[in-house]
Amino acid sequence: MARPYLSWSKPQTRKIIVMTKPFVDLEFICFEESEMLLRSKEYYLEMRRRRTVRDFSDRPVSREIIEYCLLTAGSTVSGANMQPWQFVVVENPDIKHRLRLAAEKEEKEFYETKAPEEWLRALEPLGTDANKPFLEKAPYLIAIFQQRFGILPDGEKIKHYYATESVGIATGVLISAIHHAGLACLTHTPSPMGFLNEILDRPRSERPFLLLVVGYPEEGAKVPDIGKKSLSDISSFL
């Protein structure tokens, strides 16, 4: 009787990376419930005024304002505290011009050949098209990149967990901070966005997430007459 063939693989070794941090006391401010209700309502009323703007002024904005908005975004939660984001702030007119040309090329192809009819119908009430003058006129563009992995001091790669979710949360916090500071913004997502890596000299380990246009709205700017879903439409209590 033939003996079964047995193959033995070498045991796999796993490098366990333990990065311990000391614990500190939580800085938490406890408000009276009446004040909590007032604060939550005031914040809602402030954020309810936020609108996506497509007509921007070229009025200058202090870089320090943008820096604090970015610090706010960077303070948010992330998977295993990996903070897998990179914010590239563009104010150079030449770079903004290159970004506009590349984005409009992608958008033209999208509207003419790639976009399904259903998607075009959804965009119709918003008045969007392939022309993106705001990419040059607004004082700041913030390109948000998702870092697929990190690099340890010894050069080894380390996986970023829940990177997409983390960057999405940070982007939402950034949009909120920009509005809270008194500025307007627009989320721009050309597809594909590979030209952002090339023009902004970012490594391929970083995936473009979206492009935020930031500045003051043009005087007399108009926005679509649209609304938001009600509380009962977006939530349920069990």
CB 212 within 8 A of CB 142: yes
Asked if residue 16 is part of any domain, the answer here is: no
Give residue 70's pLDDT. 98
Rg of the chain in Å (alpha carbons):
23
Token readout for 174 is: 């950034």
Peptide bond into 192 cis (omega under 30): yes
CA 30-32-36 angle, 5° bins: 85
What local confidence, expressed as pLDDT, does residue 23 receive? 92
Distance CA 69, CA 8 (A): 56
Domain ranges, residue 143: 50-217
pTM: 0.85
d(CA 102, CA 197): 12
- Give the integer Cα–Cα distance in Å for 10 and 33: 61
pLDDT at 18: 56
Predicted local confidence at residue 230, as pLDDT? 97
Number of domains composing the chain: 1
Q: Is residue 175 part of a domain?
A: yes
CA distance to 86, 175, 190, per residue, from 167 (Å) = 9, 12, 17
**Domain assignment present for 227:** no
Assess if residue 41 is contained within a domain. Answer: no
CATH at 162 = 3.40.109.10
Residue 235 tokens read as 């939530």
Residue 132 neighbours by CB under 8 Å, 6+ apart? 100, 103, 104, 107, 188
* Predicted pLDDT at 21: 74
Task: Give the whole-angstrom CA distance, residue 94 versus residue 46.
Answer: 35
- Nearest Cα to 184, choosing from 48, 44, 42, 55? 55
Whether 4 maps to a domain, the answer reads no
Q: Mean pLDDT for each consecutive 10-residue tract of the chain (238 residues)?
A: 44 56 92 97 97 96 98 97 97 97 84 71 72 95 94 86 96 98 93 90 94 97 93 97
Asked if the structure places residue 3 within a domain, the reply is no
The answer to whether residue 131 is domain-embedded is yes
Which residue do the tokens 């679509």 mark? 224
User: Looking at the domain assignment, is residue 146 inside a domain?
Assistant: yes
